[in-house]
Structure 1
């Protein structure tokens, strides 16, 4: 009751203030602890407004200073010494009043809870933290230690050139060690995800599940107080409804829009439409530990029979590129071609016959309810694939479920085939480490482990020369296409829209927007 009373009092004080920025989100988060989730919705609702990380990324995806103001790397590439910013304030909320500024203790606590199962902060994730598991942090990071209040040492088991990019990922968001330790001591660990405390540009006020998330600007944010005081997420899974709310002025910012909605937005003088090409891959993952998908011939057959051109026309309404590799050919790390070949029914039948499935088999494709940036309509995607596979005698059931349930059950390996996606991995190791490496096989959607592929990844990770890294990734991509642990469906364009009274919406491959940079005209 005390929390509710405090929130109501805060609302009354701001009732006459400038209007809240309302962002129509396509899905709700599964909490506000970024380290415990692999949902894009949690990234938007937690990592971006509530937390900061040791590094940030510029518009091209290169690491820049974040909570770490400077850093040095040892000559053998195995030790990073980070200098931390001083004077960074944590949120002061109805549920926690910090006694000190951000320091090295917070970095050590935030990272070590994901590395050490015996750490007090690890109790909230008995099965482990998704990013740490899929990225095999324990096999990468040897030790995280406090050197001084403003210095942290990170020692690695092996040289790892992309470490600053990893430390910019949303799973490495820095939480308050003081708050986490207090909750752990009281046996209330789960409250870290319910009542978060970070250093980010906004702090949480209230979450009404399935409806709204309310934030207010962090008054002592180290980069300067956000120009818009109040931020509200309206949970609106239906893209058509999001557009309606935007046109009526019920929200000022939306993304994950269907291309057919663009015409109406373009003709509305009150709205602005922005289209950009981030690094997004929409894919269909095979659980390679389940029959018959442990056989690469089956996976390859089911991949090459997909009519990607028809799927892109129906699902993405043409606003996507096609291809077979994990990365678009129009990015630095993609293969030379950006177009997938036409569906090859003859070769697919031959491969299935060689694998002993000339008469087909039964399976199921799992998809999330609703759609998002990586796939505007997963159910329609699955139905398109269902029709393609029927030509091979494959009897496919399409199963729709809530996004959080889908993520949980996929991590546990209960699926056979699942439609998923990955976005904003501007350094390829993040995608490969989290989704396709042997280190990630325990919880990834594919459960795939290929030693030859992994060897190429290890060589690329250890090499600081961009040209040599690129060559290794191209070789890895060739191996990936041959083995087909997933079938790449599309590289979608991203489309967002906003009201003309809102400025500062500047999408880049690194992020579609940053809430703290937005302002009213």
Structure 2
């Protein structure tokens, strides 16, 4: 039986793992992957750390944290955004989990075995209960994965599963249509969360108004655009957590989150804006936990719309942009210019990928060749204060080559709906690789079959790239697989459906005496063990 580890892939991920630091009141800069990056860190970076476990008795354990935006749905298969995944990660369990050391370990799966290139056997833990007290069985796993295959936003993680055989309540076999190297990593994604077949079937859409899973926290309520609340599940199969209740407040304005953290109104700000990091570091009652991310910030162009259907226009936009200016102004220098559609901390990334640097003369020449010597008017969709500031810099830079940009701001959910439907000319967003496998940075975003909500919101299509992506998914030799991703990245960069902007640094602000928090390399943080000592 195979070890419950990534093997060669885990070694690569560990080599890319970030340097993390708990920057307290010293004010010193900490080097810090997983969702937005800067200081890429070196190959010998330390393992993720945080406040860790306290040594005393549990005192206050009703925890309030704050985030920038609201969840889109409580259905883990109904969306693929990072914000919603926080709730999903705590309400539901999955077969597989990627731990804080970037290793693949079991979640519901007690063990697994690869029988052949296209056959995987899983044994799930016995005695696992859903929040309503009913048993979780292999049939629920089969139902959930088959449901995920039908859901456009997450199907890419499980579509290679051809059929599922349930042997008994705790054993099942996944039969793949063809070899699929990223399978274990894909099964850690929140879109593969396990839900109760009987309840979902009986209740239909009503189930998602009061959902149940097998995760460490139970759903209590959701007040859209204000907060959602969870409570501890005492019968959690891994043992109850230390957090009695968890409330996540929606606070879009970064300054307001920082003030609430300073006053003790909240215990944690999931995301501290770059402009507030020094204030958090200077406060003796707070800690700023930083790390380089596993995400890529990007400007996407709709390749199905004129003039963006012309690669020369897309290349011209890339040459017109000065990414370092965006980093300096918006992130106060806390970022790294992105040379690729893949983050530096993901296995398969290569620093040899040829990116773009600002060259206005070259940009103007390409615009003229494309038939737009005087430029054109277009729109740019964005969501949130930080991305509005990014958009304004991009607006000014593109005006240098005659492109007049109208910035259109949306609430997060409306933004996702608009870009999923392809209503945009251009938009700013980021992609965070939750599985730490290179396929998750490429396949959802650039394969032709994934247009729209699945991830390819640039509506980019290149048959040669499609073929290479499919080859990489089947390749069992890890070294050959990484070479394929290098070739894929370069071809996508040359086609320029995106202007890659930066890899950022994420900062989480917490009260200095809060215990039990550990930063996760992909920002898939867990909050069920947060507490204060008596």
Q: 1:204 Cα shift?
A: 1.0
Q: More deviation in 501-510 or 288-297? A: 501-510
Q: 1:19 Cα shift?
A: 4.7
User: What's 2:516 paired with?
Assistant: 504
Matched, 1:465 2:477: yes
User: What's 1:43 paired with?
Assistant: 85
Structure 1 contact 322–338 (Cα < 8 Å) conserved: no
Equivalent position to 1:390, from 399, 403, 420? 399
Q: Note the alpha carbon deviations across 1:401-450, whole angstroms, 9 max, x for none.
A: 11111111211111111111111341110121211112212542111121
User: What's 1:28 paired with?
Assistant: 70
CA separation of 1:292 and 1:341: change in aligned 2, threshold 3 A: closer
Q: Which residues of 2 match residues 94-493 of structure 1 at below 5 A? A: 98=133, 100-116=134-150, 128-132=151-155, 135=156, 137-138=158-159, 140-183=160-203, 189-329=204-344, 331-336=346-351, 342-370=357-385, 377-425=386-434, 426-443=436-453, 444-493=456-505
Structure 1 contact 321–328 (Cα < 8 Å) conserved: no
User: What's 1:120 paired with?
Assistant: none
Q: 1:288 Cα shift?
A: 0.8
Q: 1:378 Cα shift?
A: 0.8
Unaligned runs of 5+ in 1: 1-16, 93-97, 117-127, 184-188, 371-376
TM-score (norm. length: structure 1): 0.87
CA separation of 1:338 and 1:236: change in aligned 2, threshold 3 A: farther
Structure 1 contact 321–339 (Cα < 8 Å) conserved: no
Instruction: Work out which structure has the larger RCO, using CA pairs closer than 8 Å and 6 or more positions apart in sequence.
Output: 2
Structure 2 contact 353–486 (Cα < 8 Å) conserved: no
Structure 1 contact 91–218 (Cα < 8 Å) conserved: yes
Q: Name the SS for the 2:358 alignment partner.
A: coil
Q: Note the alpha carbon deviations across 1:463-503, whole angstroms, 9 max, x for none.
A: 22221111111111110110011111111111011112211
User: What's 1:90 paired with?
Assistant: 130
Q: 1:101 Cα shift?
A: 0.9
Q: Name the SS for the 1:502 alignment partner.
A: coil
Q: Name the SS for the 1:457 alignment partner.
A: helix
CA distance in 2, matches of 1:414, 1:395: 18
CA distance in 1, matches of 2:467, 2:451: 15
Q: 1:338 Cα shift?
A: 9.0
Q: Name the SS for the 2:449 alignment partner.
A: coil
Q: Note the alpha carbon deviations across 1:271-290, whole angstroms, 9 max, x for none.
A: 11111112011111111111
Unaligned runs of 5+ in 2: 1-58
TM-score (norm. length: structure 2): 0.85
CA distance in 2, matches of 1:432, 1:195: 34
Number of matched pairs: 472
User: What's 1:5 paired with?
Assistant: none
CA distance in 2, matches of 1:427, 1:277: 17
Matched, 1:81 2:111: no
Structure 1 runs (4+) deviating above 3 angstroms are: 328-332, 337-342
Structure 2 contact 294–344 (Cα < 8 Å) conserved: no
CA distance in 2, matches of 1:435, 1:259: 27
CA distance in 1, matches of 2:447, 2:369: 27
CA distance in 1, matches of 2:199, 2:184: 26
CA distance in 1, matches of 2:243, 2:158: 37
CA RMSD in angstroms, aligned pairs only: 1.8
